[in-house]
Structure 1
Amino acid sequence: MHLDAVPSAVSPSDVLSGYRTPGGLVLDKVIDRLDRHCREFIAHSPFATLATADAEGWPDISPRGGDPGFVHVLDEHRLALPDRPGNNRVDSLKNVAANPRAALMFLVPGVEQTLRVYGTTTLVRPEDLDVDLTEFGRAPLSVLVLDVQRAYFQCPKSVMRSGLWDPARQIDPKTLTPFGRVLKDHCALDSDLPDDATIRADLAHEL
């Protein structure tokens, strides 16, 4: 179906009316702090996604990773997310400079629940915090401090459906087009890029 063929007669409220009212447990699980269960989960998480939006409301989502606990819990109401060397687009950081609202979703390998944390942010320098944020032998370039306003655990249905942690459902990376070819095509380059093993080895030096 083409986008211009999408039905427009049904209003969003009509669509939403087809969903049942959420139960009390679903609503009551939202808390305004990082309790011991949240802190335990974050301490085991090596991967999170950071959601931000610019001043006009355009959204962005960025993967973030490190050793388990790479996002530091400063106290019940504050998280510190170090910013490591990347592609220097700094889309997320530009967004929070204009719109401080942000959200993090934490994943723990092998665990089907996820943790969602919402709040407002402040961008600071590493030396502004009395915390050792050294990882992979270097300090972060900056730190995003999230003042927590909401936190809750997401039910595992989506991860269960995806089989995300099921080794039998992992694919051989060779099934996909080599990343160097993808970049060549997307950037309309005339010359070939190095093979994926070389690209990965180069990136490993920048962790």
Structure 2
Amino acid sequence: MLVFSNARLVFLAVPKTGSTAYEQALAPLASLTVSAPPDLKHAPIYRYNRFFRPMLERFVGAKMDVLAVVREPVSWLGSWYRYRQRPEMTGQGKATHGISFDEFVLAYTSRTRPEFANVGAQSRFLRPARNGTAATHLFRYEDQAGLIRFLESRLETSITTRRANVSPGKTPPLMSHVENSLRRTAAADFSLWESIGHNGAYGQFRSSA
């Protein structure tokens, strides 16, 4: 999570959406950089609202806009799947060695997810708090140019990013019945991603996750 007090902007780090690359590029400009532990670095809306928002609004003296990036759900799960195939994951319960991508996604859609497929949901990460705290600017991961234009305008600087923490390899295609199951189970995630337009505009947030 990055906080830019002068720009009145908070950049939430949704996992597997390139947040590490932006952290490396923008940390020198940030008033506050939360890079560890993971539960704070990747603080979702509800955690931001509970622990960070009151402090920031008190000391900055204004309400902060909240920026986040959302990735197409199949691609997002593919990144998780490949990330957990790294050699250093060998022997861990979260590893996906010996598991096909279809098996990973079916496990994700199951009622009780095994450890290796328990990666949360982007719609749950960004679900608005009861007091109305929500992301005010959402960009698709696939629209890096739009995101950079927004950040350069808001932070009044030029930005260059380098790929970081990239999951190895390529994601295999899903069998049609597996993708159909995912689209039913993760309907809120697909709806959220599809609602995002250009320049951070998006439709009404709906989540039943």
Greater strand percent: which structure?
Answer: 1
- What interval of TM-score do these two structures reach, taking the shorter chain for normalisation? under 0.3
Greater helix percent: which structure?
Answer: 2
**Please, what TM-score do these two structures have when normalized by structure 1?**
0.23
**Please, what TM-score do these two structures have when normalized by structure 2?**
0.22
Q: State which structure, 1 or 2, has the greater radius of gyration over its C-alpha atoms.
A: 1
